[in-house]
Amino acid sequence: MPDKIFTALASCTFFRWLRLSLLAGACALTAALSGCTGTGGTGLSASTDWRTSADPIGSFLSRSKSGASLLTDDIHHPLALQALTQLGIRYRWGGKSPETGFDCSGLVLHSAQQSLGLKLPPRSYDIALFGTEVPRNDLQVGDLVFFNTLGRRNSHVGVYLGSEQFVHAPAAGGVVRIENMNLAYWTKRFNGARRL
């Protein structure tokens, strides 16, 4: 009898919503607690579709009308615009293209190459040596923002979008998405910024 009650309750809309909310929270926590440092080979088929909803919250945020599209109306920097075209692409360690997926530095490499014709090194901590250092209070759209997500400086990179928002490829199970730099997780891990 208890099994039948639980089964009936589990099918209710509220419990379905609760399960999805918990899953989304777990995905967000996983993404927040990990990061990336570089790109390597993948050996994945280019025909694989990496736009996914495996990261429900990231997928929702990256396609949200109130988030991405309203923010992009004021963005004119080519690097930021190029990075935004990758919203929803699945995270893949070592990924450097929309076909294979992206890790954090792969997203920046691809976006810089496509928009500015720049060839950057394959690791976030090496990318942090390029360009000019920028203080946080002087960030502009298109600046690269660096974070310590793996216990070492500049182990994660994203592209600043303005209004304390940045686009990045978060971690395994996630998708390219927009995040708020004022969240406690990002604020305490911020390492600096560079302007290319």
Catalytic residues, by residue number, are 104, 156, 168
Region of residue 186 (left: phi > 0; alpha: psi -120 to 50; beta: else): alpha
Token pair belonging to 72: 């992009």
Q: Check if the beta carbon of residue 165 is closer than 8 Å to that of residue 45.
A: no
Would you list the DSSP string of 155-175? -EEEEEEETTEEEE--STT-B
Looking at residue 185, its amino acid is Y
Looking at residue 88, its amino acid is G
Q: Check if the beta carbon of residue 63 is closer than 8 Å to that of residue 87.
A: yes
Task: Give just the sign of the alpha carbon dihedral 22, 23, 24, 26.
Answer: positive
Q: What angle do CA 190, 193, 196 make, to 5 degrees?
A: 155
Structure-derived torsion over alpha carbons of residues 167, 168, 174, 179, reported in degrees to the nearest 10: -40
